[in-house]
Amino acid sequence: MKKALKIFGLILLFIIVLLIAIPFAFQGQIQDVVKNFINKNLNAKVEFSDISLSFIRSFPKAQVTVSDLLITNFAPFKDETLATAKSISFTMPIKEVFKKASEGPLTVNSVKADAVLLTLKTNKLGDTNYDIVKGQEASVNEKETETSNFAFNLENYSINNSAFTYLDEASNIIIHVSELNHQGNGIFSVAKSELDTKSAANVSLTYNGTEYLSNNPVKLDALIDLDLNNNLYTFKENKGFINDLPIAFQGHVRLLENSQDIDIRFTNPESDFKNFLAVIPKAYSKNIDKVQTSGDFKITGAIKGIVSDKTIPHLDINMVSNNASFKYPDLPKRVSHISINASVKNTTGLMDDTYIAIEKLNFQIDNDAFRSSATLKNLTKNMLVNANINGVLNLANISKAYPITLENDLSGILKANVSTNFDMKAIETNAYSRIKNNGAVSLTDFKFASEDLAKPFHISNADVTFKPGTVTLNGFKAKTGDSDLSATGVIKNLLGFLLKDGSLQGDFNLNSNLFKVNDFMSDATETQQQEDAAKNKTTSPTESLKIPAFLDCSINANAKTVVYDNLNLKDVKGTLLIKDQQVTLKNMSSNIFDGALTINGDVSTKTETPTFNFNLGANGFDIGKSFKGLELLQNLAPIVRLFEGKLNTTLNISGDLNKTLAPNLSTIKGNAFAELLATRIGNTQSELMSKLQGALSFIDFKKLDLKDLKTNLHFEDGKVSVTPFRLTYDDIAIDVSGSHGFDKTLNYQAVFNVPAKYLGSEINRLIGKIDNVETNKMAVPITANIGGSHANPTVKTDLSNSVSTLTKQLIEIEKQKLLNQGKDKVEDLIGNVLGTHKTKTDSLKKEQNNTTKNVLESIINSNKTAKDSTSTKKNTTDAVKNVLGGILGSKKKNTKDSIN
């Protein structure tokens, strides 16, 4: 017995080894069969990482597994992915593996697909990416007796953890099915059999941009009779779920040559109104298990007819509920008097004749009743809409009666009595004559808070009247923070804005007693703005405030006071044109800084980095107040802040904005013209003025004549260049030129044309000695180079060199004067020697001695004021020698000659 068991064990081990080893020998053959099948039958590129054969996994049958399958399309969907699968497994009798190709196709008993991702697509031309099976013509050269490589004799199949997407660009339909799990059991090898299927998935459906299903869970357990000879599939005992709404259905589908014949009827087995809540996605309806309901809800439907390229089945789907109500256990309000009567109909089989009729959709919360009705026709083309709304709704009760999640609390009373009749193309093309609106809507005591707003928004009253082609804003009053608003106007394309993501068009008159910009900015924006200002940050951010793209309107604004940062603008008037994410300001005016301000220009946020372009005019600005309030003016002309008086300027400026819509100083460029009126240097001490006063003490800068000073400025690349201009101080002309940077650096030059009389007593004594017209009018150009920064300026002058040069000039003039005087003295001496003037000899000698002494004193004194002492001393010595030599030398010679 033991020997027999041992032999049996050895045989069993040998069989197991064979079951493991044999697949490796036949794996190549299976791979060739799969490749041949793909090449002969599919018009697509198919790739996979591996094909494996196992006799163990599905014993006693063999299993073939294709791993990492990838199918990509040829033109017109070239290189687009049609399908991927982690694995697809086929099971078959082991004997099928050993078949030769001439013995017929391989028989497959079951198929299992895991993690399949399928994308089905139809483009606008009607081409489909899933039509990849080759037609009969592809096998013309094949032998007529040759059969396919596979024969399917399925007993079961399954698709696990998969998803597919259907995109129809022509019909504008998108279907997403995720978390798909489907399995079926049956026998497909006989003419008639029964297929038992179970399916579960989440379904999303979007049509023409409107989402009708949003990840709704769908389940279906279907028992189907298969009549393969007649291509007839009959649904016997079937039950499905849409969310938690049960649906029972029966009927059949027959496959025809180019169409399908459908006859399906369905209803909900239960009639409790809770079934209606079950239709609503759980994300919105929450848990309905403990919801108290009354009344009924019934869905019935019939779909019958031919599905082809030109027709659809007739439709008769109805949804009815009468006097129903519901109340969530943890909410205080009940929704009552609910009446629903809606249907989807098609009686012709033509797609365009499908319509939706909502005869009633009414409800009541407390004493507020809301009634509505609508019909939607011509759904697939130019949809026709006819709707009526009449009722009152307390917005605060919405979240008290229904578990809707609102980011912010709502309050206010909405009253509406409106009827509308329009077609969608009229909205798209702004054909207002075809949009028939009548009625009125009002909103009172509406309060709204949001993270995007710095403070809650309170609309005390909004009144809108609807007439064909016109929506009139009769009144609007609101307040947020300290700001108040009132408006009237005409609204265009309101339905296009609400239904088709169109622009909100209109013309409005806006009035305000007090408008604080910060009341409309979020706390985060204000904080960032303060941080940027503290860091002197001017770089463009990655994200900026944006002007809403949907606005296309004009606003005539009138505000008594507008507060922006530390600025108080009075009597602000003008027009704002808003379109394409751009605000254009036209004839905007205001009173500020005891003067008048005008603004024309635009701000655009259409590009990634916002930009601006303005023409500004300032008339009679108080200089001190304007420089205290305007950072831009401080950067453009910082020196003007030292002045007191009035300023006129015109300014053309453009550049980039940062994320708080403040100018990025490093990018701005433009030109300005500035005029100072009745202006003087202020009492405010300045480091620059102190250093100028110290370097040029002979000028009292507080007495500069700045009246009617005019100059032009040009700014670009972070630098402001000033066109040369002239100042005056008594009889001193001052020519100023140069530039400064927005980084606070200075690079200026001031040339002072200084009369010689301002350069000290020594210069004045020399001038007095010379005593002629030319020397009395002499002036010296003294240059002051101003550098450094606003906070730490530097002043360098060439005063010393200028004084030294003037001294040399005066000495030369004095020398020539003395030489001329010496010649006259020689002539007098000669006359004395000859006896002509003997009586005056003693007097002449005394005068000569005094003249010599005075010349020496003047030269020595002048010599003290000059910086270049060596050069001056040499000049003095030469002058003394020349003068004394000319006089004394001549005297000696004449005396000697006389004696001899």
Compute the distance between CA of residue 306 and CA of residue 350 in angstroms, rounded to an integer.
10
> For position 587, what pLDDT does the model report?
92
Q: What is the helix (H) or strand (E) element at residue 17, kind and residue range?
A: helix 2-41
Backbone φ/ψ region at 593: left (φ over 0), alpha (ψ -120 to 50), beta: left
Compute the distance between CA of residue 178 and CA of residue 810 in angstroms, rounded to an integer.
103
Q: How far is CA 469 from CA 258, 490, 491, in A?
A: 47, 10, 10
CA atoms 666, 672, 677, 681: torsion sign: positive
Residue 659, number of CB atoms within 10 A of its CB = 19
Residue 324: phi and psi, rounded to 5, are -95, 170
Compute the distance between CA of residue 169 and CA of residue 123 in angstroms, rounded to an integer.
5
Compute the distance between CA of residue 617 and CA of residue 649 in angstroms, rounded to an integer.
6
Q: 547: closest CA among 612, 472, 477, 481?
A: 612
Rounded-to-10 torsion of CA 413, 417, 422, 425: -10
Is the bond leading into 60 cis (omega within 30 degrees of zero)? yes
Residue carrying the six token digits 């009798």: 93
Rounded-to-10 torsion of CA 788, 791, 794, 795: 130
> For position 325, what pLDDT does the model report?
94
> For position 623, what pLDDT does the model report?
72
Compute the distance between CA of residue 58 and CA of residue 89 in angstroms, rounded to an integer.
10
The answer for residues whose C-beta is within 8 angstroms of residue 504's C-beta and 6 or more apart is: 491, 493, 494, 497, 550, 551, 552, 553
pTM above 0.85, yes or no: no
Name the H helices within 379-433. 398-401, 424-428
> For position 648, what pLDDT does the model report?
85
Residue carrying the six token digits 């809507």: 441
Low-confidence ranges of the chain (pLDDT < 70): 1-41, 55-56, 58-59, 96-106, 134-153, 188-190, 210, 281-284, 450-454, 499-501, 521-545, 565, 624, 627-629, 639-644, 678-685, 761-763, 766-777, 820-900
Compute the distance between CA of residue 234 and CA of residue 15 in angstroms, rounded to an integer.
46
> For position 98, what pLDDT does the model report?
64
Q: Which amino acid is at 51?
A: I
Compute the distance between CA of residue 469 and CA of residue 185 in angstroms, rounded to an integer.
61
First-last CA distance in the chain: 179
Residues constituting the chain: 900
Based on the number of CB atoms within 10 Å of its own CB, is 221 exposed (0-12), middle (13-18) or buried (19 or more)? Answer: middle
| The two three-digit tokens of residue 264, written as one number | 């399906």
The full DSSP string for 295-338 is SB-EEEEEEEEEESSS---EEEEEEEEEEEEEE-TTSS--EEEE
Would strands 106-122 and 150-168 be described as parallel, antiparallel, or unpaired?
parallel
CA atoms 681, 685, 689, 690: torsion sign: positive
- b vs e for 555-568, b when ≥16 Cβ sit within 10 Å of the residue's Cβ? bbbebebbbeeeee
Q: 460: closest CA among 442, 444, 449?
A: 444
Compute the distance between CA of residue 763 and CA of residue 754 in angstroms, rounded to an integer.
13
Compute the distance between CA of residue 241 and CA of residue 730 in angstroms, rounded to an integer.
100
Backbone φ/ψ region at 79: left (φ over 0), alpha (ψ -120 to 50), beta: left
| The two three-digit tokens of residue 112, written as one number | 């299992």
> Do the Cβ atoms of 335 and 401 come closer than 8 Å?
yes
8-state DSSP, 840: G
* Greatest pairwise CA separation for the chain in angstroms: 182
- For residue 590, what are the β-bridge partners? 597
Helix/strand/coil for 733 = strand
- b vs e for 712-733, b when ≥16 Cβ sit within 10 Å of the residue's Cβ? ebebeebebebeeeebebeebe
CA 128: distance to chain centroid?
Answer: 37
Q: 195: closest CA among 159, 163, 221?
A: 221
Q: 498: closest CA among 586, 420, 409, 446?
A: 420
- For residue 555, what are the β-bridge partners? 508, 576
Q: 338: closest CA among 317, 355, 361, 318?
A: 361
- For residue 562, what are the β-bridge partners? 515, 569
> Do the Cβ atoms of 149 and 57 come closer than 8 Å?
no
Compute the distance between CA of residue 255 and CA of residue 250 in angstroms, rounded to an integer.
17
Say what angle helices 869-884 and 841-865 make with each other, to 10 degrees: 170
- b vs e for 748-767, b when ≥16 Cβ sit within 10 Å of the residue's Cβ? bebbbebebebbbebbeebb
- For residue 97, what are the β-bridge partners? none
Residue 188, number of CB atoms within 10 A of its CB = 16
Compute the distance between CA of residue 210 and CA of residue 174 in angstroms, rounded to an integer.
10
Q: 326: closest CA among 371, 280, 365?
A: 365
Task: Provide Rg for the chain, Cα atoms.
Answer: 50
Compute the distance between CA of residue 580 and CA of residue 551 in angstroms, rounded to an integer.
8
| The two three-digit tokens of residue 783, written as one number | 């240059």
> How many CA atoms, within 13 angstroms, populate the side-chain half-sphere of residue 823?
5
Compute the distance between CA of residue 31 and CA of residue 215 in angstroms, rounded to an integer.
39
| The two three-digit tokens of residue 60, written as one number | 């006693």
Compute the distance between CA of residue 530 and CA of residue 517 in angstroms, rounded to an integer.
14
Residue 99: phi and psi, rounded to 5, are -70, 145
Q: Which amino acid is at 865?
A: T
> Do the Cβ atoms of 362 and 338 come closer than 8 Å?
yes
| The two three-digit tokens of residue 537, written as one number | 């940050």
> For position 99, what pLDDT does the model report?
64
